[in-house]
Amino acid sequence: MASPVIMPKLGLTMNRGTVSRWGAGEGEPVRKGDLLMVVATDKLTFDVEAPEDGVLLKILVPEGGEAPVGAVIAYIGAEGEVPPDVAASPLPPSHEPVPSPAPAPVAVVPAGDFVRATPLARKIARERGLDLARIEGTGPGGRRLRRDVEAAARAKASPVAARMAADLGLDLASVRADGRVMKQDVIRAATERLPAGDVEVPLTPMRRVIAERMSLSSSTIPSVTYHVDADFTELSAARESLREEAARSGVKISFNHLLMKICAVALTEFPMANSSFGADSITMHGNVNIGLAVSVEGGLLVPNVKSAQDKGLLQIALETEELVRGAREGTLPLDSVQGGTFTLTNLGMFGTSGFTPLINPPEACILGLNAVVDRPVAIGGEVVVRPMTTLSLSADHRILDGAEAALFLARIRELVENPWLLLLK
């Protein structure tokens, strides 16, 4: 009897999911433990394994389609078995590029030999400019299946680049790149293809969610941004003095780690900065969950370190690096991007001297870190050169009035300029 495949619940707040990719096409065999599909939420993607051996008899939700948690989205059974006639009632479709398993190995077939492949595999190979003869098949008798072609495509291009190229009707074989084809390579190739005019880049689900949340932030939160200059002399010295000890634990202490620790201390002293605005009340959170904005291909993720107020600098650094790595590899657990109470965003590596960061709802504040540069400053009646930066704090004026926000930022600056005070905490 055919077994139903249901949309899994991958997080406490998940109520629907998007099928980003099927690991096999209808009528193709699947093996227990193999990748059956990739499911995307609004922020993360998850590989879902096949629960049993068999054939993927019927797909009820196509790639890019959405379905509620618990809905039947496909059937697995024996070859030739007829699945029940059940619809999954998919939600409106979307498209999500996702991280994928390791690419398939390459095999060379002598010229003139017939290449065995499913019609769907041939179609995908044609669309993506791939030579089937150079792809090793994992089907019966070496037959090339959909998963084989897609694995080969992933070896050539990132998931975002592959999806974007398909949406733009661009042959990946024509895209020039130094190594793997990335998003910017596809955009450049699409621009060069047109003699003049605009290029429409389709929205990914991640970009769509970012747009929705940032629009919500700018339209519903009366945000005010406060700027203050800070001397990084002592913080730089502290980082240098901790370098060797931190290296023994396999981590390199960065300004991000130090600022996260400093903010964790300051937030316990200014609980309104660690709160959320509700319809009839303001919720002051018991834990300080500090998020770090991480740029990833196709968008932005903000994983957060939970209960940062109870953790030392080394623990914060270790957890942060693990979260950053997971964000860039697409392996973050869902709860790592939920429950944040404060965000740090660093554009200093791009040379910024000041910007207005948008608050990540429902948080009350976000701190922006700018470039640290040598500047002349007056100290004790003399002009000296110090490593200086500008700290940019955006705060929800419904929660923090100007004076309290300014005091909060001043406390952050005090700890930046006197990091040894952290020893008293």
Instruction: Please identify every residue annotated as catalytic.
Output: 397, 401
Written as one string, the DSSP assignment of 123-179 is HHHHHTT--GGGS---SGGGPBPHHHHHHHHHHHB-HHHHHHHHHHT--GGG---SS
Pairing type for strands 16-22 and 66-68 reads antiparallel
Helix (H, G, I), strand (E, B) or coil at 417: helix
- What DSSP character marks residue 249? T
Give the span between the Cα atoms of 109 and 129, in whole angstroms. 17
Give the span between the Cα atoms of 191 and 185, in whole angstroms. 10
Count of CB atoms within 10 A of residue 224's CB?
Answer: 16
Counting Cα atoms < 13 Å in the Cβ hemisphere of 15 gives 2
Closest CA to 341 of 402, 425, 272, 238: 272
Rg (CA), the chain: 26
Give the long-range contacts of residues 347-351, CB within 8 A, separation 24 or more. 347/371, 348/255, 348/372, 348/389
List the beta strands (DSSP E) in 216-279.
223-231, 275-277
**φ, ψ for residue 378, nearest 5 deg:** -90, 120
Counting Cα atoms < 13 Å in the Cβ hemisphere of 296 gives 30
CA angle 362, 291, 47 (to 5 degrees): 95
Total length of the chain: 425
Cα torsion for 86, 27, 126, 98, to the nearest 10°?
A: 60
